[in-house]
Structure 1
Amino acid sequence: MPTLKSTLAEAVSLLQATTESPLLDAELLLCHVLGKDRSYLRAWPDAELNPEQLHAYRALVNDRRQGKPIAYLTGTREFWSRDFHISPDVLIPRPDTELLIELSLALIPTNQPSRIIDLGTGSGIIAITLAAERPAIHVSATDISATALQVAKANAARHQVERIQFCQSHWFDDVPTGKFDLVVSNPPYLASDDEHRQQGDLRFEPLTALVSAQQGLSDIQTIAETARNRLENGGFLLVEHGYNQKEAAQKLFRNLGYHNVQTHHDLSGQPRVTLGQYLSPS
């Protein structure tokens, strides 16, 4: 029977033309099949795979050769040191979005009640992470997709976070009345003709969670407009956007009357999150 070492070598050879990280991808898929971590592969290179394991693994490697994302093949992705269930109904969490978490946590008092809403929650990574990191807050999470909300609810249960109110809604349309101290969102922000749509994992992710009209700014504008009526005085709006949308996002925020508008950069040095503060007209 083939060993872990020989099976990995075969997979790496097959994946070299598909991915920039063939060894990592091959290891992650094998760990998924075996139900083990990567240290097991190194500790037991001569362990053998049974026929069922080998068949399942080769099928996954073939799917990866077609470009299918690792997160969809394994059904999980790490975010903020937690593993989240992921399906093709939701976006794949990316490290860039951890900037939203960092900025939000800096604005949320540690031990004081406050109300937060995550618009377009997808897999729930933002809402769940904030609720887990700030036990005193009340979190609402919306998504227009019922299947995405199912994934988010499963993740909330997985991480034993019970203080989230989920709501199927297009942005604020069906959110119950009430105001929030913080509105956070990672909305669709790619233009319909953005060349990145045809690259990498984006080819397989849900289009409605990626693409927005008006060169990717339509949903950001809708959120910024409607959030003014749902923010407490002094509350903040934080929105993730494309690397080339800093100026447009800042202009939009300022034109809508937000104060203290700032854009923060992600780990790659790209402008990624713009925030603004709502101050009631005197």
Structure 2
Amino acid sequence: MSGDVASLLKAAKRALDRQGHPTPALDARLLLQRATGLSHEAMIADPDRQIAAAAVARFHEYLDRRRRGEPVSRILGEREFYGRVFTVTAATLDPRPDTETLIEAALAFMPRDRACHIIDLGTGTGAIGITLLAERPLAHAVMTDISLAALAVAHRNAESHGVGGRASFIEGSWFAGVEGRFDLILSNPPYIPSAILPTLAAEVRDFDPGTALDGGPDGLEPYRRIAAEAVSSLAPAGRVIVEIGEGQAIDIEAIFNARGFVPESRWKDLAGHVRCLGFTQAKAR
């Protein structure tokens, strides 16, 4: 069964729209591009172009997966983040646009003209650490994750973006196996309370790894670990910057304050929610 570009897109958009998908036209286009190998420009230039039966079959397979709730990024195996494309797999969290807030926060403290040593805790795809290395060519990063499979993805992403030579990867929980001190300690840790996980949207609940979502009974357990262990890993005048969930700022600031850190900054995401917190050690101020 064959079909032309315009007809396939129209039918797919209609099917996704009926199910309430928020971006049916975009989803349909991205899936058709992958199925056919055509660029967006090529599809615009020739909407009557006939698509071979094999490509149509692939497109319908992708469309069926999307209709069952699988995110487009999971179907494609990649996600754009801060202008770069990252491989994602079942072992990694799918990077969200909100996390770009953490990138902007970190870049403000990373000099362009000298070396900077950072650590990305619970790196997943490596999107945070790799993006910062790409933006600051003199920086070096350690990336940790409890999942060896996730670290393999991060390593591939680092190589594909040309920063592998300035990155090292350690399997372990938070600071386990890590030596030295860092100018920036960064993390987007799991922050969802365990009891909330079953209520999450299917796109998150069924496709992101649970270990990347589950923050313990109150969603704050990872922050307690990071605050406790960061004390001996932060360089003088260094900073800790963490991503947080909505409404968690006061509790997390208290956790870090109890470990001798001083809340320094809050950064909001595009929706106006506090998304990241920054801390220094009290003696560094």
- TM-score for both structures, normalised by structure 2: 0.95
Which of 216, 224, 228 is equivalent to 1:225? Answer: 228
- Tell me which moved more, 159-168 or 14-23: 14-23
Residue number in structure 2 paired with 1:250: 253
Match of 1:36, as an amino acid?
Answer: L
Contact 1:131 1:163 in 2 (8 A): yes
Match of 1:146, as an amino acid?
Answer: L
Which of 156, 163, 167 is equivalent to 2:166? Answer: 163
Q: Distance in 2 between matches of 1:154 and 1:270?
A: 32
Q: Distance in 2 between matches of 1:221 and 1:158?
A: 34
Q: Distance in 2 between matches of 1:102 and 1:241?
A: 15
Q: Distance in 2 between matches of 1:84 and 1:173?
A: 26
Q: Distance in 2 between matches of 1:217 and 1:130?
A: 25
- How big is the shift at 1:209? 0.2
1:77 maps to 2:79: yes
Residue number in structure 1 paired with 2:243: 240
- How big is the shift at 1:261? 3.0
Q: 1:40 to 1:196 in 2, by over 3 A?
A: farther
List runs of 5+ in structure 2 lacking aligned partners. none
Q: 1:49 to 1:6 in 2, by over 3 A?
A: same
Match of 2:14, as an amino acid?
Answer: S
Q: Distance in 1 between matches of 2:174 and 2:55?
A: 43
Match of 1:86, as an amino acid?
Answer: V
Residue number in structure 2 paired with 1:5: 6
Match of 2:75, as an amino acid?
Answer: L
Identity of aligned residues (%): 37
Match of 1:223, as an amino acid?
Answer: I
Residue number in structure 1 paired with 2:67: 65
Listed one character per residue, the Cα deviations across residues 163-200 of structure 1 (whole Å, up to 9, x for unaligned) are: 1011111100122x211111000000001122685315
Listed one character per residue, the Cα deviations across residues 118-144 of structure 1 (whole Å, up to 9, x for unaligned) are: 001100111111111111111110111
Q: What is the DSSP-based 3-state SS (H/G/I as helix, E as strand, rest coil) of the residue aligned with 1:165?
A: strand
- How big is the shift at 1:152? 0.5
Q: Distance in 2 between matches of 1:102 and 1:197?
A: 31
Which of 263, 275, 281 is equivalent to 2:278? Answer: 275
Q: Distance in 1 between matches of 2:80 and 2:202?
A: 18
Listed one character per residue, the Cα deviations across residues 75-118 of structure 1 (whole Å, up to 9, x for unaligned) are: 11111111111112111111110111111110111111121000
Residue number in structure 1 paired with 2:25: 23
Q: 1:247 to 1:148 in 2, by over 3 A?
A: same
Match of 2:278, as an amino acid?
Answer: L
Match of 2:68, as an amino acid?
Answer: Q
- Tell me which moved more, 236-245 or 11-20: 11-20
Q: What is the DSSP-based 3-state SS (H/G/I as helix, E as strand, rest coil) of the residue aligned with 2:253?
A: helix
Match of 1:75, as an amino acid?
Answer: G
Residue number in structure 1 paired with 2:105: 103
The 5 Å alignment of 1:134-145 reads 134-145=136-147
- How big is the shift at 1:201? 2.1
Q: Distance in 2 between matches of 1:12 and 1:270?
A: 31
The 5 Å alignment of 1:104-143 reads 104-143=106-145
Residue number in structure 1 paired with 2:218: 215
Q: 1:96 to 1:25 in 2, by over 3 A?
A: same
- TM-score for both structures, normalised by structure 1: 0.95
- Tell me which moved more, 186-195 or 54-63: 186-195
Residue number in structure 2 paired with 1:264: 267
Q: 1:265 to 1:144 in 2, by over 3 A?
A: same
Q: Distance in 2 between matches of 1:96 and 1:55?
A: 34
> Alignment length, in residue pairs?
281
Q: What is the DSSP-based 3-state SS (H/G/I as helix, E as strand, rest coil) of the residue aligned with 2:186?
A: strand
Contact 1:18 1:65 in 2 (8 A): no
Q: Distance in 2 between matches of 1:79 and 1:106?
A: 18
- How big is the shift at 1:279? 4.2
List runs of 5+ in structure 1 lacking aligned partners. none
Match of 1:269, as an amino acid?
Answer: G
- How big is the shift at 1:36? 2.6
Q: What is the DSSP-based 3-state SS (H/G/I as helix, E as strand, rest coil) of the residue aligned with 1:237?
A: strand
Q: Distance in 2 between matches of 1:196 and 1:41?
A: 40
1:172 maps to 2:175: yes
